[in-house]
Amino acid sequence: MKTISQLSSIHYSNKPYIIQKSEKGFDLYTDFSKKIILNKNNIYDFLNQKFKKKKKFSPTDLFIGFFGYELLNNLIDIKLPKQKNLNFPKGIFYKPEKKITLTNNLNFDLSTKNKVNHNFKINIDKKSYTKIFDQFKKKIKAGETYQIKICTKYVNKSKIDPLDFFCRLSKTNLAPEAFMIKDEDYSIISCSPENLITKKGYNISTKPIAGTLKKNKSLNKKKALSYFQNNIKESKEHNMIVDMERSDLSKICEPGSVKILKLKEVEEYKDLYHYVSLIGGKLKKGIKNLDIIKSMMPGGSVIGCPKISTLQLLNNQEKENRNIYTGSFGYIKFNGDMRFNIIIRSLLNFKNISEIAVASGVVIDSNANHEFNENYIKAKALIDLFK
């Protein structure tokens, strides 16, 4: 109970704080001594900074925050055309001075709850989606890409309480890479299931997700696995992403060290099942943080493949900036270890505008109606928070 009361005190003090899902529960970071707003000019200094070697590091010897989608494109020399945007920062990292371990269940009831607008506007309707889908199908047939993700956004205007949203989301749809950030002028709430980078010493792994199935009463994990195994489209999509992530790891790992640790398993969430694999390797000596970020980000499973040409196709088609969506949240420890997710299943609230972005994959066997509906399934857990 002490930790919950600490969370309550921090929340109502209006101090910025971050909550991140951990193996044992949640980690809360606050009392930030530094806040670094990233841009294309200072990103290199941030990633190349050197830390003092210590015999023992404290739990707060780290930077925690996020890289936005646009910044990650800039980092690998991909330029984005002029797009509609919220003027939201391209990335922010914090240096915490306090870390609090919270229990696995955030039983936190707010005394007052804001009435929120539950009506969302979608930026791409089914007719527009189908038109984009058909254009990308032609690109696939022409060999310009093998798989590509179409992003749609659900937007409304509401003042929200991010902690209320995050607690309810954690109770109904807890995900291994969930997090929230509360700052003065923005908040992010996420039930992201996908780990992009886990680095400890020279060992590094990634856990791509490719394959989504809506839950119903007749399904269970065994039946979901059978569905994925026998569905040509889902299997093809998953195989391509696994191959691409292996290739990304191979650029920074010792030759022959990259292995598939778990292949094509099913994970269960509130509204859906996911098809996942786990890939690991051993880093080459001399590989730096900048090398790792440039090789692994943006995460291929939410872009398509091949990554570079597909990013260029996506960016030329999309009229709005993705902001945080398909960026990465996580930490870089001063001893060199890091953990980053892919920012999906996430809600950005900035200047009282709430934005939920989702995407589904297009391959040669895809169906436009199915993929459009899949996007809504992915967004539903977050949209339900407004009801």
Backbone angles phi, psi at 267, to 5 degrees: -115, 145
User: Would 230 be classed as within a structural domain?
Assistant: no
User: Would 13 be classed as within a structural domain?
Assistant: yes
> Domain tally for the chain?
1
Domain with 123 in it: 2-206+321-386
Q: What is the pLDDT along the chain (387 residues), one digit of tens a residue?
A: 457 778 888 988 989 999 999 988 999 999 999 999 999 999 999 999 988 888 889 999 999 999 999 999 999 999 888 888 889 999 999 999 999 998 767 766 665 556 788 899 999 999 999 999 999 999 999 999 988 989 999 999 988 999 999 998 988 888 899 999 999 999 999 999 999 999 999 999 999 988 888 888 889 999 999 999 998 888 888 898 899 999 999 999 999 999 999 999 999 887 789 999 999 999 999 999 999 999 999 998 888 889 999 999 999 999 999 999 999 999 999 999 999 999 999 999 999 999 999 998 888 888 999 999 989 988 998 999 998
User: Would 283 be classed as within a structural domain?
Assistant: no
User: Would 246 be classed as within a structural domain?
Assistant: no
pTM of the model: 0.93
User: Would 375 be classed as within a structural domain?
Assistant: yes
Q: What is the CATH number of the domain that holds 55?
A: 3.60.120.10
User: Would 29 be classed as within a structural domain?
Assistant: yes
User: Would 264 be classed as within a structural domain?
Assistant: no
User: Would 41 be classed as within a structural domain?
Assistant: yes
